[in-house]
Every structure is written in structure tokens, then in C-alpha cells.
Copies of this chain bind each other. A is one copy, B any other.
């Protein structure tokens, strides 16, 4: 299963679990359905996991039950049975594993382990990895992990915790980000650098693709594995997923997005009175477009951040209510004008369609919709939660059909080349852009599915 989430760990600090809780706030945008923290006091592991947002899942007393100087955690997906970190005992000890990514051969490995007599209690990939660790031969945890991961194919950024150490690992392709920081004498691992900033921890560097860093009381050691796999850093992190104040894959996200917007303006200029963003994820791209196109930027769409789960009247017929609750147009910015609306990406197209209707009803004379990435035409099998082919608006539709569906006067997607150059400069080869191109860096035998497992675990209700 796709483990869309943020991972975090800290080792060597007396308030480890409390700091990891703060770190989760900074990674909340990576997953909102469930969260967990596991801590070590040197002898045992302690865990708290629950559904919901970080702000809902922990209380003051929780941290009394999470003592110790080391902790790892996730904020991410989560039915009650699938909450991470996954905590298990095996022959030589106990381990808590937090995983961001997606394994393409999880199903085969799952079956292989079952064939050897293992049982599975969740559908998260972490469990597959822990099974392989338990079956690995080397006597040390590092060796076990590397042997286990030699069987695994796909995307994984891991933070593992045992009673006496924390280990951070990125897969040899480096699909998902993971960075290393320092807070006084403690080492910190986090999906994005914004979590380091929150703790006032120093950003040290990315964990490299194919690198395993091990932190103990003695300090940090590093090991390389995975041979010379091609680097395949997820382009979608820069396009949409990461926070703009983060560094991801060594590049500032905000900066990259401004370049995407500039490149978009060069590729798809528009005659318009004003440029506006779909807030907040497209703010930077819209700014870049405005700068390059020399068309003034204005705040034409406002986002309401208070909206959570809402109740729908059975007989309700308010069109686009979900989108309306989240966005509103600023009439005086839009009315009677030709507007460029910049969005970072279009997946299903339904939100774009509703949003453009709101812009149209606010009086726009013409709408030029510009997208700072290419059409999403393929699912992601490496950890981004995307729908199947059927639900992608760009699947088997021409540009003209998409324009018509969304309801705009003109439509421009950034080219793949333009995107890669804007994001990575000369290093375009190091990126995974499979959702745009269909060129999957890591293949599979059987098509990965959303659920590799027959047991359906409904949400807590």
C-alpha cells in the first residue's frame, strides 16, 4: 500500500517524543489521517498511535507514556489497523518502522513471506520490510536491513527505531526525500527540512539515495548500498507535495516553483490583465509566471483554512459545495478582466472545473488556465496518492477536450522538458517524472494495486 506520509526521528535528546510531536506538525501536509510516535528509553519501545490530525491524536499526558531519548514517528494514512510506526518483535529484538514510499513488489514479497509461514496484520509496506528483516541472516540490524532491502523494489524513505539506535534509509533511486539535521548533540531525520527549522535544528544534508545512516549513543555512522541505481527523485515533491519552505532533494522548493512559473509563462504566454494563483500550493508558480509575463499578480482566489469534515444536507443542491467551502473569488480582482489562473498540477480536473466556474461567476471576461506541470497521465507507484487511469482527466482526452471540460478560454500545460529543466537544471536525468511520462524507473511483475491485501479495515467511526 501507498504510504503517503511524513516520517521523522530524533535520537539523543531527553525530550525525544515531545520534539517528534512538534516535528509532526511541520509534516502534517504529507498526510492527515493518522499518526504515531514510538520512543525508546534504551531498554524498551513505547508507542502511541491514533487516527486523525496530530492536533487530535495526542494529549499532554501522552508524552508521559513515551519516555526516552529517541523517537520516530509518522503523520500519514491510516485506518486503525494500519497506523505507523509499525512496531514488532522478531528473533533478535524489537523494531519500530516508519515508512514513506511504496514498494512495487510488496505483493510478491508478501506472498513469499506467507509462503514461508508469516502472517500479515496490516496492509502497509512497513510490515513487508519488517518480515524481511526478521528473516535476514546477518547478526546486526544494519546488515539485516540491507539484506531485507536487497529484496525490495520501489520507493522507501525509512526511519527505524530500536531500543538502542535510530536508522535512516533512502532507497537506491532516492524516490522520496529524507534529510538529516542536528539539534545540539541529537541527530534528527525528517522527510522535509521544514521540520528541522521548527525545532531550530541545523540542516546538515540529504540522506543520499542508497545510504543508510545509523545513530547510536556513540554517534552517527553511514553505509552505502544498492549499487549504481539511477537517481529518480520524485518531481512531484517539487511540483506540489513538499512545503515551499522546505529543501527537498537539496533544492529549495519555493525557488523551484517560481522557476516553473517562469518557464510556464515562456511556453504559454497569455494576453491578460492579471495573474492569480490557486492558493496556497500555486502561489510561487503564479509569482514566477507574473514576473516572466510582466502581467501583474493579484490575489483573486481566497482559501478558507477552517473547513474540515462538513455535513451535507441530504437534499442539498448547492453546486460545487466542496470547492466553494474552500475557495472564493475576489470579485473586484476578477470582474470584467481577462485572467491567467495558475495551478501547480491537474489530476482529476474536478476541482479545477469547479474553481473555474467560481472565477467565471465572479465576472471574468476570459480565463487562461496555466498549469506549472505537464498533464498527469499515469498513476504513481512510488508513494504519491494518485487515482487510477480512469479518473485522470488527461487520460485519453485531448488538450481541447480537457480545456472544454474545465471550462476555460485557453489552457496551457508546462512541457516535460520545461518542467525538468526548471526543477533540476542540468540534472534532469536524476528525476522520476513517471506520472507525466509513463516512464517508470522501477518496473514490476504484476501491476501494483491500491490494496495488496484482502482484508478491508474500515475507518474508525
Q: Which of A21, A118, A255, A316 has the most CB atoms of chain B within a 10 A radius of its CB?
A: A118
- Is A458 within 8 A of B46, CB to CB? yes
Nearest CB of B to A56, in Å: 8
> Which of B61, B115, B198, B298 is within 8 Å of A328, CB to CB?
B198
Chain A contacts with B in 50-106, Cβ cutoff 8 A:
50, 53-55, 58-66, 80-81, 86-91, 94
Chain A contacts with B in 303-359, Cβ cutoff 8 A:
304-311, 313, 315-316, 318-319, 321, 324-325, 328-333
> What residues of chain B lie closer than 8 Å to A279, measured between beta carbons?
280
> What residues of chain B lie closer than 8 Å to A321, measured between beta carbons?
22
A311-B64 Cα distance, complex, nearest whole Å = 12
Indicate with 1 or 0, residue by residue over A276-313, a CB within 8 angstroms of chain B CB atoms: 00011001100100010000111100101111111101
Give the total of A residues in contact with B, Cβ under 8 Å: 108
> What residues of chain B lie closer than 8 Å to A324, measured between beta carbons?
197-198, 200
A244-B334 Cα distance, complex, nearest whole Å = 13
The reply on A263 being an interface residue by CB < 8 A is no
Closest B residue, CB atoms, query A303: B280
Nearest CB of B to A307, in Å: 6
The reply on A120 being an interface residue by CB < 8 A is yes
- Is A81 within 8 A of B47, CB to CB? yes
> What residues of chain B lie closer than 8 Å to A455, measured between beta carbons?
44-45, 47, 87, 89, 94
A119-B313 Cα distance, complex, nearest whole Å = 34
Given contacts A44-B455, A88-B119, A255-B330, 8 further A-B contacts (CB under 8 A): A18-B313, A25-B307, A90-B120, A121-B122, A198-B328, A244-B299, A252-B332, A291-B296
Chain A contacts with B in 8-59, Cβ cutoff 8 A:
15, 18, 21-22, 25-26, 28-29, 32, 43-50, 53-55, 58-59
